[in-house]
Structure 1
């Protein structure tokens, strides 16, 4: 088994690795915040010159992401702080952040759908003069730039999260948010090209006044599932539910089963996640009446030692049941 000196060295290595992971997460979030602020500013300028509600939706979405990242940066600093009330840290802030972010995204999409429906109703009730006509060129220029930036962020967040073992719920949430943002921008590109290439003339007043609203309505309804997915995962984590990442669960179980001595029988394994903190409970029993507490503790420490190399925020309990006898 591992000596005391060896454990101290591993503990120091783990602390250093946590610091490196936090730095990577913070730098990725800072980069994302700057990119989203730029996209929001460009969107509002483009909206002013184009009268496009789709562009306005995209800009508001980018600004919400920017504000959210500022909160995420604060969370990345305080999540590892321990207190008497939170002896394992404040990782629940990460899950709470994702939940609120998901609600905000859902709210923006629903509000945009409501605005689109109001414009459609105005058109068919003879009030089309109250609907501003679209100007297509600014829409196209804006959308191309923001599509490239948004999908670039998706790739960047994914790469950064993979480099830290895909442990950051903050980066995963921002990756999903940027995917939604990129899809919004890509949709704007498609509709702008269609209109510039003659779609406006062929469609008449309907296209000139309602193309934007129809697009917002369709795309928002398609993207609602992403917001619901963020909310669902956050609720499961905050409620202490089972780990939803099947690949991660299999990785943990493989290590546990390969490390467990043959005299200890695993009855069940429960794995949950709160933010970037993993909690594992292993229910064990044995047919060996003289099995020592020390052997169980040593086994537990060995499993933790292996798993914490790539998952530094981790706690593990081995719970004796059945015929086990502790001496």
Structure 2
């Protein structure tokens, strides 16, 4: 199956499931007014919107034109970068909101007791859907040798959603059994503060990881995936003749597009059979494109 079709199939299923999760999350948040559910619900909304945009980008990024002869693959890491930045902004705003709410309770005794009744069944379903969808994204990406930056972003984002749902559900279960006259009574009013801050502390690293990888791709940095590096180098060295010395093999990745720059010893350039070398280059490309659909190869002489 075409690699873009695999990517798009994963994104379409994500849109369907995230639509269900988003509507359910917003509904339960409006019923309970628990800030941690705001984070959970609107994070799902972001994931839903990003899935729709991802589909559009996935369809246009591989199209070539006179102005963009190599395609628009750079849109893929740019989108992942923007989505991750938006995630960080949302998480930061949520921390501020619950912090203000907790401060008002501890400083002035102002607050509203949380209604956790509808939370438990909702979060059980959300946890199952989130982790299943994250696993599905990762599985689809693995089929295409983890070459999709957007599927990686969706995997991380949905995983964060699942972790947050797990934490909220566990906290709601504990709060449900706290008596009104208990020493832990304050959690009935501020529990969402502790849950939100704890969950964000555990998940904030993920969007920064995606930002780092996206920035490397946008700025033309070398590939960070060591497994892909080893696979490509093995194919290159296996198909080149023994009398050709490979001095280095550098791989650049932008979205799903790869460019391999192989530096070979050019001191004996006159003795190299250029026709045979061209055939070997085509063999390398053919084999690599079975694993990575959008692959370019440059053989460079170094004296």
The CA distance in 1 between the partners of 2:57 and 2:202, in whole Å, is 30
RMSD: 1.5
1:51–1:134 CA contact under 8 A, matched in 2 = yes
Q: Using the alignment, how far apart are the partners of 1:205 and 1:321 within structure 2?
A: 73
Give structure 1 regions of 4+ aligned residues with deviation exceeding 4 angstroms: none
What is the match of residue 297 of structure 1?
278
C-alpha displacement of 1:287: 5.2
Structure 2, unaligned runs of 5 or more: none
- The unaligned stretches of length 5 or more in structure 1 are 1-16, 323-327
Give the Å deviation of 1:260.
1.6
The match for 1:120 is 102
Count of residue pairs the alignment pairs up: 302
Deviations 1:72-118 (A, max 9, x none): 01011101111122111111111111101110111111111111211
Contact 1:153 1:178 survives alignment (8 Å): yes
Alignment pair present for 1:24 and 2:6? yes
Distance 1:201 1:286 in 2: 82
Match of 1:158 among 125, 138, 148: 138
CA 1:199–1:99 in 2, change beyond 3 Å: closer, same or farther?
A: farther
Within 5 A, what are the aligned runs for 1:108-187?
108-126=90-108, 128-129=109-110, 131-187=111-167
| Counterpart in the other structure of 1:92 | 74
The 8 Å contact of residues 267 and 302 in structure 2, kept in 1 or not, is answered as no
Secondary structure, counterpart of 2:114 in structure 1: coil
Superimposed CA distance per residue, residues 223-260 of structure 1 (whole angstroms, 9 cap, x where no aligned partner):
11001011111001101111111111111111111112
**Matched residue of 1:57: which SS?**
helix
* Distance of aligned partners of 1:274 and 1:143 in 2 relative to their CA distance in 1, 3 Å threshold: same
**d(CA) in 1 for partners of 2:280, 2:63:** 28
After TM superposition, list the pairs within 5 Å mapping 1:1-327 onto structure 2: 17=1, 20-126=2-108, 128-129=109-110, 131-198=111-178, 202-286=182-266, 288=268, 289-322=270-303
CA distance in 1 between partners of 2:278 and 2:267 (Å):
18
Show CA shifts across 1:173-222 (max 9, x none).
11111100000000011101111233765344411111111110111122
Instruction: Assess if the C-alpha contact under 8 Å between 1:52 and 1:139 holds in 2.
Output: no
Output the TM-score relative to the length of structure 2.
0.95
CA contact (8 A) 1:243 1:271 kept: yes
User: Match for residue 14 of structure 1?
Assistant: none
Native 8 Å contact 2:178 2:184 kept in 1: no
Q: State the Cα deviation string for residues 142-193 of structure 1 (Å, max 9, x = none).
A: 1111111100101111222222332222211111111000000000111011
Decide whether aligned partners of structure 1 residues 24 and 121 sit closer, same or farther in structure 2, where only a CA change above 3 A counts.
same
